[in-house]
Chains A and B, each alone.
Chain A
């Protein structure tokens, strides 16, 4: 009898397990998914609400929220994806199953977290009486798919490299701290001036966050050309990442 692996079910099971475990022993449980970005939202809201950030005060909250949850997705997804192989080392050394699923499930978990947070945001934006429009939502969805492909593709590289070079975890952590300030999360990308402004306006994450805000809150489609270019880059990273991953993953087993 043919023995066909059921990869879809394994993926679902891995995500389900990870989700259960992440919050099973905590008092607030799944509420932490929402709490984490909301708490950083409150901090940023009160601190930067006092500064001029380029948003009018009424829009500041939803703009900030979108920025935070998108950035959280990228950061969490990359970190989870990067450490996924190492975390599952004991299973990987004893069972052969498609290794990509370890990475994919980790990145997907951060996507699930993102959707939970998005739900909360929608409630808030609706309360502040925005009416999202349909083309805006589609554009936003396309941006999220793009980010997912980008994060997943990079994770395929990072998860392998991390096994040989353990410093990577710290490097990525510092990189994301830098990116946090440079991704136009709590300010409008267009208000920055000088060299820093130019640099931030080259940051794909900043550009995509900016585009998402405009699309979701005002129904505007901006940066469409850059969006297409990013797609090409993301696909290249993803496809070469898969090749790299599948070539290396067997050789890497002995370095765990």
Chain B
């Protein structure tokens, strides 16, 4: 029995894109010997890898980097230009959920249509029918035409059918982020079940959360070339770097360096550090450059600069910035985010706290601000985000975002969750 379930060797796919496409006979007749200029597009360029049974492999890359072409070639939909794809095992032959669904047919009819397209027999589908209907939670809509279904219902039905396939290789193109969160949980649990049953999953997603959570391995493609193959954390980093302009890459690497130093000096654990990458500022509005944040400091109870806080400790956040332009009613906002990028807390100082307002600052003015509060977070890692803006408070007016990792250390509070709160509590025997 072979371990390698999928072997891809020196795979190259060239799409020939004629500058003017010959699709009609006329073009052949008018000038049959005219050479049509052909632009060769390397969708995949000498890609090799092997995938073993039981792996959950994420494929990352920008749009047009060749991910889908690659999956289509593994699924035997496109033929390679050169190189080879070997698949030892049975492939569930879908790349997208609900392929072959027909809007004019009822849900019931579509179960059989989609199921047989995926290679299942009608008889097998009949035995699994109840399971499919239960899992998809669409029982009362079974005899309704699919065109009346919501997109969530469709995708739930599609997923429920697909997982009944007895194949052991699943190719998923952006499909886990479907349905409501309850269904997402259920479908992920189901995927795990399939994995533990020996299935192999190839997964294309733009959700770094999912990739980090589920993929045991990540392959990153850039312009048809494999630029990374390894563990998920490093893969996500490689992917995010590939998204950036050279300038952004430089900033990112600089920031990363700083964090690494920080990690060394203050002993942040690895898990805390890694998540910084997921909230790297690249997706955020970086402002219009009309101010620079010069300094962000976290000050603990004893008046020392720190990156660590104790539960219930008093702290200050100091932000110093310089204006590069005239800013009317400048303002500073801070927020604390959890690992999952949820805002736990956030406010604009001048508006919410009604501190003294400076009517206007001009180019070159330096302003320092301070927030003082008490830490209500339980032990863990949090990101501090700082924005400078003007009176309009719109994010669009924000000038700079910087992420700043804060670690809340013990003492252990005996509570769970992100927020620390110890209510008063009492027992009273009512009857006995």
Contact = CB atoms under 8 A, between A and B. Distances in A.
Contact of B90 (A3, A24, A251): A3
A27 interface: no
A10 interface: yes
Nearest to B78: A253
Contacts of A20: 104-105, 109
A94 B167 contact: no
A85 B94 CA distance: 18
A163 to B, nearest CB: 9
Interface string A1-36: 111111001101110010011001100000000000
B122 interface: yes
A24 B104 contact: yes
Interface residues of A, number: 32
Interface string A73-96: 000000000000000001111111
Contacts of A166: 23-24
A13 B104 contact: no
Interface size class of B (residues with CB under 8 A): 35 or more
Interface in B48-100: 72, 75-79, 90-96, 99-100
A14 B122 CA distance: 12
B166 A21 contact: no
Contact of B168 (A3, A10, A96): A3
A3 B79 contact: no
Interface stretch (B4-12, B112-120, B349-357): B112-120
Contacts of B26: 167
Given A94-B96, A167-B25, A17 B120 contact: no
Contacts of A13: 112-113, 116-117, 122
A97 B96 CA distance: 14
Contact of A21 (B95, B102, B165): B102
B257 interface: no
B113 A17 contact: yes
Contacts of B109: 17, 20
B15 interface: yes
B121 interface: yes
A4 B166 CA distance: 9
Contacts of B102: 17, 21
A243 to B, nearest CB: 16
A9 B122 contact: yes
Contact of A10 (B23, B25, B79, B117): B117
B165 to A, nearest CB: 7
Contacts, number: 96
Given A2-B90, A94-B96, A164-B23, A254 B105 contact: no
B85 to A, nearest CB: 12
Interface centre among B91, B93, B116, B118 (most CB of A within 10 A): B116
Given A12-B122, A253-B77, A93 B72 contact: yes
B100 A95 contact: yes
A114 B79 CA distance: 37
Contacts of A5: 119
A98 to B, nearest CB: 10
A1 B91 CA distance: 12
Interface in B247-303: none
Contacts of A91: 99-100, 117
A92 B121 CA distance: 19
A56 to B, nearest CB: 46
Contacts of A96: 75-77, 91, 93
B119 to A, nearest CB: 4
Interface centre among B15, B78, B79, B105 (most CB of A within 10 A): B79
Interface in A157-180: 164-167
A250 interface: yes
Contacts of A21: 102, 104-105
Contacts of B165: 3
A21 B147 CA distance: 13
Interface string B413-428: 0000000000000000
Contacts of B93: 95-97
A4 B120 CA distance: 8
A92 B96 CA distance: 12
Nearest to A98: B119
Given A3-B168, A97-B93, A253-B77, A165 B25 contact: yes
A21 B92 CA distance: 27
Contact of B118 (A14, A95, A253, A254): A95
Contact of B77 (A4, A10, A93): A93
Contacts of B118: 95
A57 B40 CA distance: 66
Contact of B78 (A4, A90, A165, A250): A250
27 contacts: A2-B90, A3-B92, A3-B167, A6-B119, A9-B116, A9-B120, A9-B122, A9-B123, A10-B119, A12-B116, A13-B112, A13-B116, A13-B117, A17-B109, A20-B109, A21-B102, A94-B77, A95-B100, A95-B118, A96-B76, A96-B77, A165-B25, A166-B24, A167-B24, A251-B79, A253-B77, A254-B15
The 7 closest A-B pairs by CB, nearest first: A3-B90, A6-B121, A250-B79, A5-B119, A10-B116, A13-B116, A96-B93
Interface of A: 1-6, 9-10, 12-14, 17, 20-21, 24-25, 90-97, 164-167, 250-251, 253-254
